[in-house]
Structure 1
């Protein structure tokens, strides 16, 4: 008995008869159904779907490019900046030592 109840499924009311619908009368629902099934609405939905697809692809590729640029910066540029800072500190230290010892700085005579 329980298996026979599962076989049938659910039947929905027929939407083609505007008078049998429960919401808003036959005239209002007919206009709304005609508008929602029109070619302009279908084209608009298709355009919105295409725009969404392109936007998702663009964001995904932009994210990949940002990841590549960020990791490249961390691997190549940050060590270079650190090394340049060390070199500048070493030059300043040499200038300080030279001024304490009384010798003229390198490059001046």
Structure 2
């Protein structure tokens, strides 16, 4: 039993020595700083994604819808012209 308690003492001393070393402290500090930077970066990236997404919805989506309507109107005019027998407008000749 005495050997067991002395080995636990050695392990606890080694563990405390390692955990109190300046290298471990600097490593923990670096990990903490890196975590802080990553958190700030993700937060600012989320804000930028929100701004880009709402800008796209407000400016680009209505443009796409209008272009689609214009294309449908052109197709309808061409279809009506072909049904009525009027010649389709040809490309201008040089």
Q: Give the TM-score normalised by structure 1.
A: 0.74
Match of 2:48 among 65, 68, 83: 65
Matches within 5 A, 1:88-103: 88-103=71-86
Structure with larger Rg: 1
In terms of fraction of residues, the more helix-rich structure is 2
- Higher mean alpha-carbon deviation, 43-52 vs 25-34, is at 25-34
2:31 maps to 1:51 = no
Match in the other structure for 1:28:
11
How far apart are residue 90 of structure 1 and its match? 0.4
Q: Give the TM-score normalised by structure 2.
A: 0.86
The number of residue pairs the alignment matches comes to 87
Distance 1:107 1:72 in 2: 40
Distance 1:105 1:73 in 2: 37
Match of 2:23 among 14, 32, 40: 40
Distance 2:91 2:30 in 1: 72
